[in-house]
Structure 1
């Protein structure tokens, strides 16, 4: 065994690589009692600790689908009284895969497997997320075409995507990008404000009969399919702070 420290931490299921980097930067990770730094390698027999506690071997993977209600924040920071971890109140440590804005609702995954987080979030892997959006005034063909072809936001133009009008003031959109608050920013750039935004699908998973505020475990079949879909996930494509692959 010879792997980077952040990869080693994520593969134990403790957290994602990005979160592991934060722990390392804060000086909270040690290898054989020596404070770790980014780029350190972990060899067979090394003892890795976070906050003085040895990392345990990976537990059975937990994968949860939650229909997040409005008002819940996709953070593991328990100082935030609306954090998603306290809301789900799971019996062991889990964390969300990506984000949904506090005012947005719909499907989000939570897991204890940092490696799955990394693979799903990599923007280069083109994993689809589908949303149902209601805006504050009637939309027209010009709006739909603009959304489809790309909108200038945050110093870049969004990728071409599927958009279908569902009513006078609502539409469905399928993204493979994950820019921060992407749909809201796209609408605002075209002179519209989002009244409601619901994520209805991630990859092969939909809300199905999952009521708002409720969660369930992935079935064995769903877990198998997700693992197959991320099996060839790029190991080299890197996201950034604005693009974690599962934002809205």
Structure 2
């Protein structure tokens, strides 16, 4: 039984199907020592290398015994967190998963980093209803030197969308960069908060959602959540 090579690469968790097509177009993938092109197929005994290195297969859903898919993606800039197939660059087509999956929450098109997706619509609603209880950590670059006054003001709360944001934690990580930990998720919240102090966000990357960390995932790569991560995210939920 053969599988399209881009699908095979995506299912290892190495990258999305779209990224796999780019690798194939750049002639960076070989099958049994021969450079493979777009549209190539592979069988179970074929040896696939990317940049000369073997792909490390991720744990597949069947081995976990789970009813649903739960994954963490390092979303690149330019991908939109929507299931609408009519939207170019939507997150579902970008991943190209064999099951129907949904993003949990959002990460705006201009931002990058950790976002969770699942095939379990019930858990999406549970997490979103409890959104204010989940910590989300971001690394942010801005266009001006970060001051103590700016950090204190952000941490106290800022008036946006006709409401004041909840108190949060901030810290300086570089002359033009800071870390912020939120427990809410208003639309474009960090960018609007920073703008109130005359700062423009030039880069925004989410690196953690509660106990789930971005870790070594490269932009476009995804992985299955572990049992420990799932139980930490929703400790009262048992039907995975």
The one-character-per-residue Cα deviations of 1:134-156 (angstroms, maximum 9, x if unpaired) are: 00111211100000101111111
Give the drift of 1:109: 0.3
| Structure 2 counterpart of 1:204 | 211
| Structure 1 counterpart of 2:225 | 218
Q: Helix, strand or coil: the match of 1:92?
A: coil
Q: Helix, strand or coil: the match of 1:223?
A: helix
Give the drift of 1:226: 2.3
Paired residues of 2:131 and 2:185 also in contact (CA < 8 A): no
Alignment of 1:1-248 (within 5 A): 60-123=67-130, 125-228=132-235, 231=237
Give the drift of 1:209: 1.3
Q: Helix, strand or coil: the match of 2:125?
A: helix
The one-character-per-residue Cα deviations of 1:197-218 (angstroms, maximum 9, x if unpaired) are: 0000001000111111100111
Q: Helix, strand or coil: the match of 1:224?
A: helix
The one-character-per-residue Cα deviations of 1:178-227 (angstroms, maximum 9, x if unpaired) are: 11110000001111110000000001000111111100111222223223
The one-character-per-residue Cα deviations of 1:140-180 (angstroms, maximum 9, x if unpaired) are: 11100000101111111111100011111110000011111
Any unmatched runs of 5+ in structure 2? 1-65
Segment drifting more, 145-154 vs 121-130? 121-130
Matched positions, count:
173
RMSD of the alignment, in Å? 1.6
Paired residues of 1:63 and 1:218 also in contact (CA < 8 A): yes
User: TM-score, normalized by length of structure 1?
Assistant: 0.67
Paired residues of 1:123 and 1:178 also in contact (CA < 8 A): no
Q: Distance in 1 between matches of 2:160 and 2:228?
A: 38
